[in-house]
């Protein structure tokens, strides 16, 4: 085949498209920000103080790994250094509190003694004060300085605790003689036997396991016995309550054990039920909880609650002789320790000024009238130097209101229902009059 060089021939070379330029993509690496040592230490100290964590937490491997996962640059302080840092924190907070208290004129101090689970005793002290957030108006100064008397009022909840302890542990009372009389020996013997049973199951693993298996076999709730602390009567209440809850399984377990304490007989079980019935108004109706409140005034509730306790106890009918003596002792000790509040000026005025109670919270109408007179006299004295016409202190006493008190905020419908039963009032008034005679 001949090719004519004078004629153009198609090219056999392949032309490739131009390549695109390669671009370098810049990837920004994120480096964890280094935590400053001082803020990290401060946060650690705050956690230990607020959450009550032990110092050895910095030595726990899990906590160390967790800290490194958050940021590997932070170094946990050693335990010895942590102790020194806590001391420095305490000094700083102490100085700050001292500076804050320099401008405080009056303090309300509250102390309490309590025991930990390991039976260690502690005493706590709290202080409350009011910051200066009002103006210097003359009327306000006069109201605070002249109308608010600084008086010491004993803790009513603690008084109830002492009253019940006297009845359970020590003796019964004769209200008319104002002296202690014969001890309730059967009740004390019952409590001693109950404590022996609870201690036996607490310190014997074999006995505790046998009780657990018996409850599973009987297909009832698996409950452990509760040991009481003599400093607090409500722990005795819990102990008796739990013994009644496990009565069947306990009675079936004791014969299977060796060196066992004696079980309660039928009369002692009846006495336990009587004691529980009489003590329920104290605890289950939250009387102690109401009087220990911090977010609402409590003094105005003392007189109505004491009235409710009297009624609740008088409404019970024990079946045992020791139960009847316990009922009489509780009634007497309430009158002895708590009956004085109805004639106390501060407490009675607080109850009268409480919109929920007014005059209907009193046992005797004469005491309610006295509270009204004291309040009117104070209002008259406060308004004597002003244009407000004074109210007459000798105005006729209003009858005791019949409206039901609104107590939904306190959540204690039971005790207030007892207070609202008006048929009790004439009976209690007659009882009080007879005791005075």
Q: What is the pLDDT of residues 5-25, one digit of tens each?
A: 555 555 555 555 556 565 555
Backbone angles phi, psi at 54, to 5 degrees: -75, 160
286 conformational bin, left if phi > 0, alpha if psi -120 to 50, beta if neither: left
3-state secondary structure of 140: helix
Kindly provide the b/e burial profile for residues 304-325, where b requires at least 16 CB atoms within 10 angstroms of the residue's own CB. bbbbbbbbbbbebebebebbeb
Cα–Cα distance, 284 to 250 (Å, whole number): 25
Question: Cα Rg for the chain, rounded, in angstroms?
Answer: 37
Residue pLDDT, tens place only, 123-152? 888 888 876 554 444 555 555 555 655 555
Q: How confident is the prediction for the chain on average, in pLDDT?
A: 75
pLDDT at 396: 39
Which residue, 258, 295, 254, is CA-closest to 128? 295
Q: What is the pLDDT of residue 47?
A: 92
Cα separation, 428 vs 416, whole angstroms: 17
Closest CA relative to residue 100, chosen from 133, 141, 129, 134: 129
Q: What angle do CA 222, 227, 232 make, to 5 degrees?
A: 130
Average pLDDT over residues 293-298: 80
pLDDT digit string (tens) for 150-169? Answer: 555 677 877 887 788 888 87
How much of the chain, in percent, has pLDDT values that exceed 70? 69
Which letter does DSSP use for residue 23 in this model?
-
Three-class secondary structure of residue 288 per DSSP:
helix
- The pLDDT of 344-372, averaged and rounded, is 84
Compute φ and ψ for 356, nearest 5 degrees.
Answer: -75, -25
Residue 245: predicted pLDDT: 92
Q: Which range, 68-82, 166-180, 271-285, has the best average confidence (pLDDT)?
A: 68-82
Q: Residue 64: count other Cβ atoms within 10 Å of its Cβ.
A: 13
Whether the pLDDT of residue 66 is over 80: the answer is: yes
Return the pLDDT at 24: 53
- Check residue 16 and report its DSSP letter: P
Q: Give dist(CA 396, CA 93) in Å, integer.
A: 57
The secondary structure element, H or E, covering residue 126 is strand 121-128
- Percent pLDDT > 90 in the chain is 4
Which H or E element spans position 37?
Answer: helix 37-51
Under 8 Å CB-to-CB from 301, ≥6 apart: which residues? 290, 291, 351, 354, 357, 410
**pLDDT confidence of residue 426:** 46
Confidence at residue 411, expressed as pLDDT on a 0 to 100 scale: 38
What pLDDT does 243 receive? 92
**Encoded tokens for 16:** 């490739």
Q: Give the per-residue pLDDT at 288.
A: 75
Helices (H), 219-341: 233-245, 247-253, 266-283, 287-291, 302-314, 321-338
Q: How many residues does the chain have?
A: 437
Q: What's residue 317's pLDDT?
A: 86
pLDDT single digits (tens) 246-266? 999 998 988 888 877 888 888
Q: What is the pLDDT of residue 18?
A: 59
For the beta carbon of residue 345, count every other beta carbon within 10 angstroms: 13
User: What is the helix (H) or strand (E) element at residue 179, kind and residue range?
Assistant: strand 179-180
Q: Dihedral of the CA atoms 185, 186, 191, 196 (nearest 10)?
A: 100
Q: Which residue has the tokens 């090719």?
A: 3
Vertex 99, ends 96 and 105: CA angle to 5°?
Answer: 135
Distance from CA of residue 103 to its chain's centroid?
31
pLDDT at residue 378 tops 50: yes
């Amino acid at each position: 085949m001949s090719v004519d060089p004078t004629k153009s021939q198609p090219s056999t070379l392949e032309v490739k498209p131009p390549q695109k330029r390669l671009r370098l993509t810049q990837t920004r690496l994120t480096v964890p920000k280094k935590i400053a040592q001082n803020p990290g230490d401060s946060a650690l100290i705050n956690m230990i103080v607020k959450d009550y964590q032990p110092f050895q937490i910095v030595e726990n491997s899990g906590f160390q790994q967790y800290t490194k996962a958050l940021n590997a640059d932070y170094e946990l302080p050693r335990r010895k250094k942590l102790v020194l840092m806590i001391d420095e924190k305490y000094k700083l907070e102490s100085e700050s509190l001292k500076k804050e208290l320099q401008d405080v004129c009056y303090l309300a101090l509250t102390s309490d003694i309590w025991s930990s689970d390991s039976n260690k005793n502690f005493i706590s002290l709290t202080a409350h004060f009011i910051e200066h957030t009002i103006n210097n108006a003359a009327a306000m100064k006069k109201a605070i300085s002249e109308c608010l008397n600084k008086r010491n009022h004993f803790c009513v909840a603690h008084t109830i605790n002492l009253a019940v302890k006297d009845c359970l542990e020590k003796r019964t009372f004769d209200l008319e003689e104002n002296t202690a009389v014969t001890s309730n020996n059967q009740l004390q013997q019952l409590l001693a036997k109950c404590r022996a049973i609870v201690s036996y199951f607490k310190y014997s693993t074999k006995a505790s396991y046998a009780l657990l298996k018996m409850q599973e076999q009987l297909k009832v709730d698996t409950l452990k016995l509760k040991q009481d602390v003599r400093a607090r009567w409500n722990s005795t209440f819990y102990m008796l309550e739990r013994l009644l809850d496990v009565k069947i399984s306990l009675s079936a377990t004791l014969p299977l054990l060796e060196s066992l304490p004696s079980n309660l007989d039928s009369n002692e079980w009846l006495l336990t039920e009587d004691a529980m019935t009489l003590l329920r108004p104290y605890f289950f109706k939250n009387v102690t909880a109401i009087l220990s409140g911090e977010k609402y005034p409590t003094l105005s509730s003392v007189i109505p609650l004491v009235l409710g306790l009297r009624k609740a106890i008088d409404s019970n009918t024990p079946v045992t002789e020791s139960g009847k003596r316990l009922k009489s002792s509780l009634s007497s000790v309430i009158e002895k320790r708590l009956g004085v509040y109805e004639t106390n000026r501060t407490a009675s005025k607080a109850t009268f000024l409480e919109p929920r109670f007014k005059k209907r919270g009193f046992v005797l109408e004469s005491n309610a009238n006295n509270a009204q007179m004291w309040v009117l006299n104070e209002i008259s004295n406060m308004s004597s130097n002003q244009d407000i016409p004074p109210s007459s202190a000798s105005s006729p006493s209003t009858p005791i209101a019949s409206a039901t008190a609104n107590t939904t905020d306190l959540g204690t419908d039971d005790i207030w229902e007892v207070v609202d039963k008006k048929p009790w009032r004439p009976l209690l008034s007659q009882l009080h009059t007879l005791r005075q005679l």
